[in-house]
Structure 1
């Protein structure tokens, strides 16, 4: 049972008051503010009709000052429809409380890969514009100040994070690993749900984290991964090692970004994805099929003599993997390791490079 619910509101990014009448549910009743005022309808009554809060607020302003310029139309919805134009409904029959609706919605979620809709259900943090090689990246709020640059192009997700690292707490406070402070009383409560966002104030019970994709409560929705553990945030409280599966499917966003084709030929791209184990199938064709008939190694010959894969940085916006004529290797393993790791020398000046080629500074991994 859901014993706590985190309230939220649904607000479209580009909400346009003058949307076409065709978007209005046919069973809704169109009423003007003036009609409602003459009927002595209160703004509290509008809320009881499931009218949105912002419309009820504007109606209250109209009651205070009945100005023709403030007069507008609203739509009185019949259950189970709601929204500015009665265009929304929950897919559950009968009268249910919001808690019951949330519980039912989360309970019916299935773990990846059984749910084909898992990826599209992942929310994005939109207050920071995040890009990877010019492509928009669905940033989770847990990826902000987690010690890993996720927005390769701008690094805005790690900007000003040093202020948190040097933050000092009062004597009656406990300092979380991420630099935030909580009351010592919360820390001294003993075992229970963590109060630090990164869960560093409690001995971690990992069993419940695996079920976070079905858990709408605070312990999942409002907790992040430990920055020092180097894990990938699934966007719902679950933390996994890089390229491990999230139960909600968010790991597929990372894999999709890492498997960008770039300037590689189709054959080279297929070979590298399969041999690097970034994906198990390409366009519906299993990599096992390519490997069994040895065509994958013929594809590998279509790669250039010195090329980058993945075609985007693999870490911190500047660390890249390069391969040098991998088709000439005497022993070809199914897992193809890079020949060189290349990086920004100014950021890693303590490393002695083995190769300086054009603008690349690299160390040899062979």
Structure 2
């Protein structure tokens, strides 16, 4: 099937998570591990990876270098993430879109003065003042140019 709509979401690990090793990830969360080279030999597209809930940065790296030995971790449901390390605590019968929508709706009535936002770090030539490589996911492909080269528009 063709992915007609991507559900925009971003999850940024806190400082403790960044320091943790991925050693506690259970193999039962992973259906299989496939190298970019093997995916390419099977004519798998980056769009298919996104349909399989691959993180967008992984799909971008695959698009740029699909003959590398980097691994794609194909996660068992309901697990997702670069190494199948996350899952939602919502009903596992809900689609990913429904889970994200429920999560956003549950917080829609809460107004917080939060200065820390999600960060999309894969626009390497983006000049944004003090946060030169950091755009919130809502600032990507929104029709507004935030990066000097227009890469985010």
TM-score, normalization by structure 2 = 0.53
Q: Is the 8 A contact 1:75 1:85 kept in 2?
A: yes
Aligned equivalents of 1:51, 1:96: Cα separation in 2: 15
Q: Which has the higher contact order (CA 8 A, sep 6+)?
A: 2
Aligned position for 1:195? none
Q: Is the 8 A contact 1:62 1:71 kept in 2?
A: no
Determine which of 44, 47, 50 is the counterpart of 1:47. Answer: 50
Which residue matches 2:87?
A: 89
User: In 2, distance between residues paired with 1:61 and 1:106?
Assistant: 32
2:11 maps to 1:10: yes
**Cα drift, residue 42 of structure 1:** 1.4
Of the three residues 119, 122, 125, the one matched with 2:115 is 125
- Show structure 1 runs of 5+ residues with no match: 1-5, 112-117, 128-366
Partner residue in 2 for 1:33: 36
Taking a change above 3 Å as real, the CA distance of residues 62 and 75 of structure 1, as seen in their structure-2 partners, is same
Matches of 1:85 and 1:123 in 2, distance apart? 32
Deviations 1:17-42 (A, max 9, x none): x9434325523121111221222211
* Contact 1:75 1:84 survives alignment (8 Å): yes
Aligned to 2:65, the other structure's residue is in SS state helix
Q: Is the 8 A contact 1:47 1:56 kept in 2?
A: yes
User: How many residue pairs were aligned?
Assistant: 105
Distance 1:8 1:125, change over 3 A: farther
The TM-score, its normalising length taken from structure 1, stands at 0.25
Looking at secondary structure, tell me which structure has more strand per residue: 1
State whether structure 2 residue 66 is matched by structure 1 residue 76.
Answer: no
Measure, in 1, the Cα distance between the counterparts of 2:101 and 2:43: 37
C-alpha distance in 1 between matches for 2:27 and 2:115: 31
- Structure 1 runs of 4+ with >6 Å offset: none
Q: Secondary structure at the match of 2:50?
A: helix
Contact 2:25 2:85 in 1 (8 A): yes
Q: 1:96 to 1:8 in 2, by over 3 A?
A: closer
What CA distance in whole angstroms lies between the structure 1 residues aligned with 2:41 and 2:65? 12
| Residue in 2 that maps onto 1:20 | 22
Over 3 Å counting, the alpha-carbon distance change for 1:56 and 1:24 in structure 2 is farther
RMSD, aligned CA = 3.4
SS state at 1:91 partner: coil
Which one has a bigger Cα radius of gyration?
Answer: 1
Quick check: 1:47–1:53 contact (8 Å CA) kept in 2? yes
Q: 2:64 aligns with which of 61, 64, 67?
A: 61
Shift of 1:95: 3.0
SS at match of 1:26: helix
Is the Cα–Cα contact under 8 Å of residues 23 and 87 in structure 1 kept in the other structure?
yes
What is the alpha-carbon distance in structure 2 between the residues aligned to residue 97 and residue 71 of structure 1? 28
